[in-house]
Every structure is written in structure tokens, then in C-alpha cells.
Amino acid sequence: MSSSPLRLRTIRSLGDVEAARWDACANPENPDGARQATLRKPEAAPEGDESLSQKERFNPFLCHRFLSALETSGSAVRREGWGPSHLLVEEEDGTLLAAAPAYLKSHSMGEYVFDHAWADAFERAGGRYYPKLQVAVPFTPASGRRLLVAEGERADEARSTLIAGLRALRENARASSTHVTFPTRTEWDALGAAGWLQRTGRQFHFFNRGYADFDAFLAALASRKRKNIRKEREQALGAGIEVFSLTGSDITEAHWDAFFEFYMDTGARKWGTPYLTRAFFSEIGATMAERILLVMARRAGRWIAGAINFIGDDALYGRNWGAIEEHPCLHFELCYYRAIDFALARGISRVEAGAQGEHKLARGYEPVTTYSAHEFADPRLARAVAGFLEQERDHVEAEIEIYGEHVPFKKG
């Protein structure tokens, strides 16, 4: 007896699909996301792209609670240039087999894979670049699955249907292009095999090589680097600064009020208009506090800086930072060193500290490859971008190799 054909459906809000159904595709090994990261000590860091594998366990950014909060808080909505157009693959009886978090976009902000030059060139040539279709977690340069396929005998068929459905969705929306940003290497390969253009980038991640604690990590570094980190940690706590690592019920609305002030001040100075609303932080604080690490600094009884991290089973993801006072090395302490402390205590395999930042290299973070895939309606634009990406991939590969020669660890 043959299987019934699969059907595609687009929804305009995460609220239009039950959380349990979405999460069964997004995090199939741990769909409810309620379990804390397990205590385990990896014997070695993941090699190559294994750290971004298809089998990665719970990823907080893919769960219904996180993506829904972006919408209900007014952060990732149509009026802000993010029109939710999530794609579902279902059986005839409504069983959800696959999904993709997708948005019709009227700009290229908040993506961290930059295509502004492509848009400018295409529009100068008489084309219309926007709207475009973006398959991504908004405002989040963290790698993870983007083709959310539930495990089962029809998984391969559902994945192929989802990829084909993205093209159909682009065509129906009359969008210029589709962009899948920060997928896994497995998904990148699958999209490339389906004819998509492939792009690479780089980030810096910390890998837990089974270190017992921060001192054990420092012992693996070259002497000069080890001394520099110790000096930075001492400087960060000067001027009577106290640092607190908060998670779960320890995080209160007062903490969110203070953190949002930091976020708005720093975000306005760095990129003009911060993306996340105050309501977003209250919502995730209410629905997924057990998956949040909020590192806060206080001086003279006043909160002065903070950094937010999200806790996955395999990674701690550093996201936003802000401060209303400037102090030497405080950014390094809150964003990098406290994240390492937490990851080692929880036995988490790696720390992803966000986009860019060559300065992370001297602080124990190592270069890794990130991925994106792109598909264009106009063959002329596709040819131009393909030529650019071929050269860019070679440049990224060479850059990562050079950075890899300058990691701060002891030689031999």
C-alpha cells in the first residue's frame, strides 16, 4: 500500500501550530525542552563540523516558546520587516513531518549573513530584491537545524518536500530569493545537492575538552595567554564590581528591567535600533527561564552591565550584552569567561559567543566554519553571486587556517 502524498502549508504565526507538534520536529530527541542540560564531561572537543551535526540535541532557539516569543512580543513581525511565513509538511491526516521557520523580509537587517551588496547591485540593475524569503532564527547568529524534519520512515521524503516547498513559497510570494542562514553542515550539503548556492563564514567557539574547571582550562594555555586572562579577570572585578550568574527562578522582572536598559543603550550605539522589545524578555523569562543564563554586574548597589546566554544540551549560546558604565575587561568577564565557567560546571560541550570577534581567539575561543545557502529567481543574479561565493569560500577557508595557527593553547 503506497503512502499518501505529502502536503505543504504556510502559516503566518507560530500560534497557528501546536507547540508540541512543532517541537517534535524542532527538537525530536527532547521535544518539550524541559530538561536541564545534563552534567557530563566530554573527553575531547568535537572535531571539524561534528559540533554542528544533524543529531545535535536540544537547541533553545528552535523551540516553539522562543520563536513564538519573537512574534507575540512584536520583535519579529511584519511591521518590523519580518513577515512570518513558516512552512509545514504534513500527511493527509494532519501529522506534521517537517517545518521551516521562514519569514518574508523587506530588508536585510538582523541576519548576520550580509547580502546588502547583492541587493544594491540587483536594484541598480533594475531588479527588485525585496521581498526575500529568509529561513532563519531572527536576530540569532547561532548554527542549528533549519529544515526541521521529524524522525521516521518518511524523513527523507519530508526533507525533499520541504526544500521544494521553499522554492514554491518564494515563487508564490514573488520574492527575489531564499536564504537559509546558519544551517547545519548536513543541511548545507543537502541544499547544495538541490542546486542552491553555498556560502561559508566563520565564528569563534570555545570547546570543552573535559576540563575540570576554569583553572584546568587555563593550564592548557600558553603561559603568556594564561597570565593575560588572569589579569583581565582581576581587572574586571575592580572598582568593587560584583558579578552574578542567574538562571531559572533567580531571574526576576527587576533583572529584566535592568538588562533591557543595558541592551537598549549598547544596541543603539552599535547598530542604531535594537531589535528586541522589552516584552520579549518578560515572555522568555516566564516560559523558558531554565534555559537562560543571565550574567549581571553590580557596583555600589546598582546593576551596571549584563549578558544573556541560552542553554542548549550541547552548547551555551551567548547572545546579547549591554552596559551603562565602562570598566576595563568587564565585557570579557561577563560574555566569555563567565560563559566558560558555566559550561564547564554543567559539562556543556562548547560555548558559541555570537558573530565576529577576532579578539575571542586570545581568550580560548577557536575558529569554526558557519554555513548558509541561497537560491535566486533571476539567473543573472544567481550567476553573479555564484562567482563571488566561490572566491569567498576560498578566502574563509584560508582565514580559518591562519586563525587556527594562532590559538592560545600550548604547542605539542
Give the CATH number for residue 115. Answer: 3.40.630.30
Residue 410 covered by a domain: no
User: How high is the pLDDT of residue 3?
Assistant: 77
Give the three cell numbers for residue 50: 561534528
Q: Are residues 394 and 330 in the same domain?
A: no
CB 381 within 8 A of CB 127: yes
User: How high is the pLDDT of residue 36?
Assistant: 37
pTM comes to 0.93
User: How high is the pLDDT of residue 33?
Assistant: 41
Residue 372 covered by a domain: yes
Domain coverage including residue 135: 7-203+368-404
Residue 188 Cα to chain centre, angstroms: 15
User: How high is the pLDDT of residue 57?
Assistant: 83
Query: Domain total for the chain?
Result: 2
Q: Are residues 152 and 169 in the same domain?
A: yes
Q: Are residues 190 and 315 in the same domain?
A: no
Residue 411 covered by a domain: no
Q: Are residues 95 and 22 in the same domain?
A: yes
User: How high is the pLDDT of residue 136?
Assistant: 98
User: How high is the pLDDT of residue 265?
Assistant: 86
For the chain, 412 residues long, the average pLDDT of each consecutive 10-residue run is 84 97 90 40 41 65 98 98 98 96 97 97 97 98 97 96 98 98 97 97 97 97 97 96 98 98 78 85 98 98 97 96 95 97 97 89 96 98 98 97 94 74
CB 362 within 8 A of CB 228: yes
User: How high is the pLDDT of residue 205?
Assistant: 97
Residue 132 covered by a domain: yes
Q: Are residues 306 and 381 in the same domain?
A: no
